[in-house]
Amino acid sequence: MRSIDATHDPSLTSWVDSANLPQCDFPLQNLPFAVFRRSGSREPLRCGVGIGDAVLDLTALGAAAPRSGPAAEALGACAAPALNGLMALGPAAALALRQTLSQLLRTGSAHAAALASALVPQAQAQFAVPARIGDYTDFYTSIHHATAVGRLFRPDQPLLPNYQWVPIAYHGRASSIGVSGQQVRRPQGQLMPRGAERPHLAPSERLDYELELGVFIGAGNTLGDPIPLERAEQHVFGLCLLNDWSARDVQAWEYQPLGPFLAKNFATTVSPWVVTLEALAPFRAPWQRPAADPAPLAYLDGQTLRASGALDISLGVALETARMRERGVPPVPLSRSNFRDCYWSLAQMVAHHTVNGCNLAPGDLLGTGTQSGPQPQEAGSLLELTGGGKQPVTLPDGETRTFLADGDSVILRAWCERAGFRRIGFGEAAGTVCPAR
């Protein structure tokens, strides 16, 4: 378990002035990682760390870079077009690098003048998917989402009997994961409208987003060796935002008996920034369940889980239609929820995924599943917000939506706030729907 240390001290400030603004996502206490190059350049992609409105090029630290020790080894892994090498080194290396970066970037650092040339404004950077993602698994950890969606698909049995025992997931598709700014082509697929006698192939009419977090695996495990719950978070590097775009009409027809397939594998959008578990240490919360619910099986239960297995991360989704964009109307918030409300924790996802011996590798991605809260306005998808497309959402200038229209941009955000600590954020994961081919 990562602990709170001197890098979380809320009084620390950075010589990068923009990092000290109160609503900045990337103060000195955050230090999220990304993969980037200067926009329009042919420079190699490499790893950087977010500070204020800039990204610090981790391959350009020069004389400020440590020469030996775990921080030097971690930094060496950053001269690569993906974070996999850094992720593979495990939490001790990530912590050493965080402590070094915290020193280098804080107000009064002797290296400030030399490092200024290693800063690239985020507005002038092009970002990439932060890791080579070998495998992607999407969980279903919000019981509020599972119940609301279940009610629409199966009114007689909203929550399936396995839900309170098994952290449900499906194997997703890594090839179509893109980074924020992604253009998402409306997919076509088999549609079976209510009352029709046979399905037809057509562009989806019920295109939706899903408000999720992504979990990047750090050190992997050997095939055949399960990761026990108490050590599960030692295998997690950090979290990002994740939009699991979903074609609800395709999904409704295809999902039984084997779960989602073409309804979801056409696109997934992640944020460029990976917020480490080290940065999230101040925002832990007890993991708990309603007293009437069954306790998890022993391999999914433990003291650390109960004491601090949950994370207090606020999540939000906003929409910007093509017309709003033309008129300069800012994106309109659709809903908010919190990762604290999920039914299954990070550690439970990892322990369950590997209990049969399945091997996870550095850079593998787990989705948390749509994060919906207990209140109707905390729905993490349009499917839930509109009651299955029956109650349209009205936007500020009179437009309405049941599902997404061509030209719509969906913007996911997340942030953590707690009294006595500096607020940190995740940046954004934005994607825009373009017309079917």
Write out the residues near Mn ion by the rule CB under 5 A.
138, 210, 244
Closer to Mn ion at the Cβ: 138 or 249?
138
Enumerate residues 6+ apart whose C-beta is below 8 A from 279.
29, 30, 31, 32, 98, 238, 424
Instruction: Give the residue with the Cβ less far from Mn ion, 244 or 384.
Output: 244
Query: Residue 101, Cα to own-chain centre: how many angstroms?
Result: 23
Beta strands, E only, 302-355: 310-311, 314-320, 332-338
**Residue 145 is among the residues annotated as catalytic for this protein:** yes
Q: How far apart are CA 100 and CA 81, in angstroms?
A: 22
The DSSP element (H or E) to which 168 belongs, if any, is none
Which residues lie across from 239 on neighbouring strands? 215, 275
Is residue 313 within 8 Å of residue 341, measured between CB atoms?
no
Q: Which helix (H) or strand (E) holds 75?
A: helix 70-76
Tell me the closest approach of the beta carbon of residue 370 to Mn ion, in angstroms: 5
Quick one: which of 268, 271, 270 has its CA closest to 173? 268
Q: What angle do CA 30, 343, 225 make, to 5 degrees?
A: 80
Burial status of residue 292 (CB atoms within 10 A of its CB: 0-12, 13-18, 19 or more):
exposed
Least distance (Å) from Mn ion to the CB of residue 244?
3
The nearer residue to Mn ion, 170 or 421, going by C-beta atoms, is 170
CB of 412 to Mn ion, least distance (A): 12
DSSP state of 228: P
Q: What is the rounded distance in angstroms from the CA atom of residue 124 to the CA atom of residue 77?
A: 24
| Euclidean distance between CA atoms 129 and 402, whole angstroms | 30
Query: What's the rounded Cα separation, in Å, for the pair 337 and 56?
Result: 31
Of 76, 333, 361, the residue nearest 216 (C-alpha): 361
> Closer to Mn ion at the Cβ: 244 or 364?
244
Own/partner contacts of 299-306, CB < 8 Å, gap of 24 or more, are 299/226, 299/228, 299/229, 299/351, 299/352, 299/355, 300/167, 300/229, 300/344, 300/348, 300/351, 300/352, 301/229, 302/229, 302/230, 302/347, 304/1, 304/229, 304/230, 304/347, 305/229, 305/345, 305/347, 305/348
Q: How far is the CB of 211 from Mn ion (least distance, A)?
A: 9
Q: How far is the CB of 243 from Mn ion (least distance, A)?
A: 9
Least CB distance from residue 381 to Mn ion, whole Å? 9
Q: Residue 178 CB, nearest distance to Mn ion (Å)?
A: 16
Q: Enumerate residues 6+ apart whose C-beta is below 8 A from 210.
A: 243, 244, 245, 246, 369, 370, 380, 381
Nearest to 354, CA basis, from 235, 241, 240:
235
Query: Whole-number minimum distance, CB 319 to Mn ion, in Å?
Result: 18
| CB neighbourhood size of 225 (10 A) | 12
Catalytic residue among 145, 235, 352, 353: 145
270, 214 contact by CB (below 8 A): yes
Residue with smaller CB distance to Mn ion, 57 or 244: 244
Residue number with the smallest Cβ distance to Mn ion: 244
Active-site positions read 145
